Chain A
Amino acid sequence: MNTLIFRTVAPFLTALMIVFSVFVLLRGHNEPGGGFIGGLIAASAFAIYGIAYGVMAVRRALWFHPMSIAGFGLLLSTLSGFLSIFAGVPFMTGLWIYPHFFGVEIALSSVMSFDIGVYLVVVGAITSIALALEEKESD
């Protein structure tokens, strides 16, 4: 698979896929998409980068161990559920705020941070499996 074309295209493809995955994640509440799908897209992006440049390159680029990313995601999702304590409503009730940035109304919610947590868990878990499997191949 280590053709010149693939190696040249891979970084752009990876970057595009990751941007797309974030896009899919954020629009998920109203259009097709969401944390699960976004996470899968990002995981494939890392897999592609790994196939092109080797596992070490991906690990360096990720900075954190993928499992830590997954762990952080799980923590984030759990904490999003607990946010409802402060509002005095049952666990996992969605909370919404609508702050204005430069005149644009932006909807932020505990549901969204929950979905970001889902995204991170999926990215982290799948990427760590894929990388661990790729590792023996490349070196």
Chain B
Amino acid sequence: MTLVCLFLPFIAAVAAPPLTRALGAKAAWLLALAPAFSFFYFAGYLPEIAAGEVVTGGYAWVPSLNLSFSWFLDGLSLTFALLITGIGTLIVLYSGGYMKGHPQQGRFFAFILLFMGAMLGVVVSDSFLMLFVYWELTSITSFLLIGFDHTREAARRAALQALVVTGGGGLCLLAGLIFIWNITGVTQLSLVVHQGELMRQSPFYLAALLLVLGGCFTKSAQFPFHFWLPNAMEAPTPVSAYLHSATMVKAGVYLLMRLNPTLGGTPAWEILLPFFGGVTLIVGTFLGLRQTDLKLMLAYTTMASLGLLVMLTGFDSEHAISAAVLYLVAHSLFKGALFMVAGLIDHEAGTRDVTKLSGLAKAMPITFAAAILAALSMGGLPLFFGFLAKEEIYYALAGGDLRSILFTSVAVIGNGLMFALAFAVALKPFLGKKVETPKHAHEGPVLLWLGPLVLAVLGLLGGVFSTVAHRFISSPMASAVEGAATQVTISTIPHWGAPLALSLVTVAFGLLVYLQLSRVRAMMVRLLDALGPGPDRGFDAAIAGLVRLSVTVTRFVQPGRLEVYVTATFILLALTLLVPPFVYGELPALPSFPTDVMVQEWAFFAIALIGLVAVLRASNRLTAIVSLGIQGFAVAVIFLLFGAPDLSFTQFMVETLSVVILALAMTRLRLMPSDHRPFRQILGDAVIAISCGVGFMLLLMKSVEGVFDTRLTDFFNAYSKVIAHGANVVNVIIVDFRGTDTLGEIAVVMVTGLAILALIRVRVGAIKPADNDPDAPDPTPAPAGTVAMSEGARP
């Protein structure tokens, strides 16, 4: 059943395009049932998880490699799963309204649901490989969604950038997970949490940590990898609300929390995480202040919030973990709501520029209400869930030593600025005098305001009924992150103390910035312009450099002359064959001359030799090709005489087809019928050819010199009939014992065929757009160098 719930989004994704074609935007109600069902199913586990149990399940996948498809639900996974499916349900509904009438709405639903399935997979994965596959799948679906509006260049660039950064980080993560696997010997997250001691004492700890951080920091947009996140705002707003604030960017934080019991508690962990998190928090809020676009303001505060989460996770104290947990949940709720509000304003008023929006409160009362509720939570005011998070943050950070003071001030500044930005988004467009907007603004349809309102109200309910929220969500999740049972007790009624004082300072600072927002913004613009271009430009420069490098390398290794390729290949082959035997003294002994050669064997040796001489003496290329065939047939007969009918059979066919295809290729190449190489070149080519031949001869002589190991032969002879029901051992090996190899090989045959077909159609100098009709005749002959190789050859 859990499996069904995990795959439900994928199933819905497949169903989305036809449903949308049939029902239009109303398909959203139907499609939202899939995540809603999963949500309620997962919610059913709440009491069990709150009681401290974990839910596991799965199937063996590749038992021989100890890989499994297995899931694992504890407080952390369950909270994430609920956020993903719950917010996902609202986002699907919201997309129904937001993308209404878009010609590709079905595709959009499909991508969103695909992402949902992938993200759900990330947070419930128990096995490393499954985690990695889902992790990369979220990167790919994010790429598809950011580039959804693929006719705009900015969207394409942002999509590619996100894919390069997060996909590259994913590879780091894979390497890191393999390190952990090698150090601890387990491949399951549920087991690896108990291996913390082993992990921390390993000499490879730092390497593993850095690689994992590489994956997490890119995914969660930590400085200096943050630049992809604001660019990703090119995506339609439901995507920004869902992927780039509520769920996907939290995957990095999720993994850090998950690995906290394994990797945490070391100086490296407690320095790197708070440092990068703190820098991200400050940089994010500063960059956010200069923006006037609602979505970009929110994007930078998201980045800042992620920084705050990473910072708290790295503190490794019980209160810091509780604070991170509370803030993560609060952030998903209020930021998702605010993004949807921004999209609503954009959708109804036609602009997202905060300086051009004012006085919408009367026109859009429900939106305004949702925005205010979300902003109050984001600002961390009493009664709201955000307040709990903020109190707990200060509770965790406040202290007398230098480190505490430093990070407390970072948190106060960050939170204060986020407070200002929250109200800039939630109040500025609604209050004040009504101004003309590009579209006549009015309240959106229920599909659009339902999502933000529900999320914003949840933020309030979570705060008011904090004991319930703690019991089912916060405490189990904090326990999972901490690796030991933890109780979150913070309540929404303010108690006098250092945290409350810090909260007051934050609010006062935030209010001050909010009131002076336009002046602060101008200041920020000046400051950031003075600092010069950021890593975003660096990314462009790096990509451009990579392209230049690859052009140079390609020019060097591919000069475009077939002769050069062939000569280089064979020289390398000759060296590979000849150098090692001489260097290692592994030359074969001269074999004794066989005495029992039969007369027919002699005859075929002679024919082979005649063929060879004919090739060398042929005055014209066609004759040479056919003579090569003679030689090949003679070899095939020799195989037959020595009892290898399958091999000989194949050799016959390969020879026939090689002659046919080579002859055809030669006629197309429009070479001169005869060979006009100067003598010097002939000499050089002859040396290369003879070296290759001698090299192969030495290799074969050496390999038959030793005693023949019959273990494999015996095995196949013994079991071919018994297990695989076939008497022809060769065929049984091909299709049964080594069937997977054959599957790979025929795929190669197919791809090679396609590549050759493409080469034959290529015209030098003129690359035209792909012709979708494979049978359309090509109007001009192709002079490109094509050498068709027979692909069926296999012993």
Which residues of A line the B interface, CB within 8 A?
24, 28-37, 39-41, 43-44, 47, 51, 59, 65, 67, 70-71, 73-74, 77-78, 81, 90-92, 94, 96, 107, 109, 111, 114-115, 117-118, 121-122, 124-126, 128-130, 132-137, 139
Contacts and interface: CB of A to CB of B under 8 A. Distances in A.
A40 B657 contact: yes
B660 interface: yes
B790 interface: yes
B657 A111 contact: no
A118 B740 contact: no
A137 B761 CA distance: 14
A128 B761 CA distance: 12
Nearest to A34: B731
B648 to A, nearest CB: 9
Contacts of A129: 661, 753, 756-757, 760, 788
B792 A36 contact: yes
- Say whether chain B's binding surface is mostly helix, strand, loop, or mixed: helix
B726 A30 contact: yes
A67 B739 contact: no
Contact of B749 (A28, A44, A107, A121): A121
Given A41-B653, A43-B792, A126-B792, 12 more contacts: A29-B725, A31-B727, A33-B649, A36-B734, A51-B660, A71-B750, A92-B739, A114-B743, A115-B731, A126-B791, A130-B664, A139-B777
Given A40-B657, A129-B788, A81 B740 contact: yes
Contact of A136 (B661, B754, B781, B792): B781
A35 B746 CA distance: 11
A109 B732 CA distance: 12
Contact of B661 (A33, A74, A133, A135): A133
The interface centre, meaning the residue of B650, B654, B747, B792 with most chain A CB atoms within 10 A of its CB, is B792
B726 A29 contact: yes
A32 B726 CA distance: 11
B728 A34 contact: yes
Contacts of B747: 74
A34 B735 contact: yes
B639 to A, nearest CB: 11
Contacts, number: 162
A36 B730 CA distance: 11
Q: What are the 8 closest A-B residue pairs judged by CB atoms, nearest first?
A: A125-B753, A40-B653, A133-B664, A29-B726, A32-B645, A34-B731, A30-B727, A121-B746
Counting contact residues on chain B (CB < 8 A from A), the size range is 35 or more
Contacts of B664: 130, 133-134, 137
B717 interface: no
Nearest to A27: B728
B649 A122 contact: no
Interface string B682-708: 000000000000000000000000000
Given A29-B726, A31-B727, A130 B657 contact: yes
B668 interface: yes
Contact of A118 (B728, B742, B752): B742
Contacts of A128: 753, 757
B285 to A, nearest CB: 51
A137 B667 CA distance: 8
Contact of B725 (A43, A107, A121): A107
Contact of B743 (A36, A67, A81): A81
